[in-house]
Structure 1
Amino acid sequence: MAIELSKEARAQAVASIERYFREHMEEPIGNVAAAGLPGFLLEEVGPTIYNRAVLDVQERLQARVSEIDLEVHEDEFQFWRKHERASRGRK
């Protein structure tokens, strides 16, 4: 699954890369070079980040599914127990 950025997100990424180079590197990066980095990073590193996020979601969902019985459990065969409690309370 290819990871793609919207036009607006790509523009923000390029602006952020240019700013990072201006403020943290000895030489600024040109617009053309900065524009090429998001595509490279998405193709090269993006799948690793994406796969890690999928794994994190799977772990969270498995934890939630394993606890679902606690949230939705209903005790079985409770009619007579409730009935006996109610009749004791009326005496």
Structure 2
Amino acid sequence: MIKFSKEEIERLTRKIQLYFNDELDQEIGQFPAQFLLEFFSEEIGPYYYNRGLMDAQEVLESRLNEALYELEKPIKD
């Protein structure tokens, strides 16, 4: 599970409450919003985390390939 600081939890909970109010025209309390945040952190969060790791791996592999190419020495025939 992704761990957030107390301040981050408060900020994210508020964002959930605002989303429900603005987009769904529904009120949601602090505890239900926190439970929803916990659900997404546990069940959905790993997908985003893993995607971030895959994206970082692609960037690192690309940079490594470029760096290795630059290190190659020309071969004279």
Ranges of 4+ aligned residues in structure 1 off by more than 2 Å? 73-76
CA–CA distance in structure 2, aligned partners of residues 27 and 7 of structure 1: 25
- Unpaired stretches in structure 2, ≥5 consecutive residues: none
Give the match's secondary structure for 2:28.
coil
Give the stretch that moved more between structures: 8-17 or 26-35. 26-35
> Relative to 1, partners in 2 of residues 1:74 and 1:31: Cα closer, same or farther, differing over 3 Å?
closer
Give the TM-score normalised by the residue count of structure 2: 0.84
Deviations 1:16-36 (A, max 9, x none): 111111111132111211111
Superposed CA RMSD: 1.7
Look at both structures and tell me which one has the larger radius of gyration over its CA atoms: 1
Residue correspondences, number: 74
Higher relative contact order (CA 8 A, sep 6+): 2
Give the aligned partner of residue 89 of structure 1: none
Identity percentage over the alignment? 36
Asked if 1:17 is matched to 2:4, the reply is: no
Give the TM-score normalised by the residue count of structure 1: 0.72
Give the stretch that moved more between structures: 28-37 or 58-67. 28-37
